[in-house]
Amino acid sequence: MIVAEGLQFGYGAAPVLRGVALTARPGRVLGLLGPNGSGKTTALRMLYGSLRPAAGRVTLDGRPLATLTPREVSQQVAVVVQESDAESMLTVHEMVALGRLPRLKTFQRAGADDHRAVAEALAAVGAGHLARRRFAELSGGERQRVLVARALAQEAEFLLLDEPTNHLDIRYQHEVLHLVRTVATSAVVVLHDLNLAARYCDDLVLLDAGRVVRTGSPDEVLDPGLIAEVYGIGATRADAGGHPQLLFHPLHHAPERLPA
């Protein structure tokens, strides 16, 4: 598991996280939700050591993250972040093959198993046909799929993603998140789309102004009253195949729930 306890962080005098606690459990997808500026990405960065908390700690399978080397972390945690290597002249295959580096010894060259992992990861995100293209030539959506493939090729136990559906059309939004659910890993996903979170996440953490305001299942967290309080917008909740889904509206009208 990845466990965060009492995380605090700020940029200068401005606090960003205020005592954030969360747990990413084995075989489950944890979604981090909240308005812009609520601390979602900052919290995610602390889970893989890109940022160090001013207070609190993160443990990875019971070991303090701060005591692990970057190589040890990368062998267990794969990350997809918003900053992409947009100007890279690597081919797509080469870009995804970077995910294999934590599995190789010093000066060891990639072998057949590594190339197979790259091909399988590209196929999983529907990007096998892009393997020989230059990464810099791809559209934003294609790049995002390749970065997800790179994380999958890493074959890490934990998968951390910051807005993995950004720039993707609706088909690939669902396909990528379905893939996250089905790979044999624990995942933490930052999402803006509450309905995608409801459909593909097992557990949710809702942040507001750097604090956790609720943790639980999508049914527990996506409460219309709480959504109105945190996001400043009204929501009507309905059931869609066993998953709560929200219809949004101005706060001054509409019921909180559709009748069953």
Q: What's the token pair of residue 76?
A: 């267990």
Q: CATH class for domain 1-76+156-217?
A: alpha beta
The predicted model gives 85-90 an average pLDDT of 74
The predicted model gives 177-194 an average pLDDT of 88
Long-range contacts of 32-35 (CB under 8 A, 24+ apart): 32/188, 32/189, 32/190, 32/191, 32/204, 32/205, 32/207, 33/191, 33/192, 33/194, 33/197, 33/204, 33/205, 33/206, 33/207, 33/221, 34/206, 34/207, 34/208, 34/230, 35/208, 35/230, 35/231
- Residue 107, pLDDT above cutoff 80: no
> SS3 for 72?
helix
Dihedral of the alpha carbons of 73, 19, 8, 1, in degrees to the nearest 10: 0
Rounded distance between C-alpha atoms, residue 73 and residue 142, angstroms: 27
Sequence spans of domains, the chain: 1-76+156-217, 84-155
pLDDT bucket at 139, cuts 50 / 70 / 90: confident
The pLDDT assigned to 184 comes to 60
- Residue 81, pLDDT above cutoff 90: no
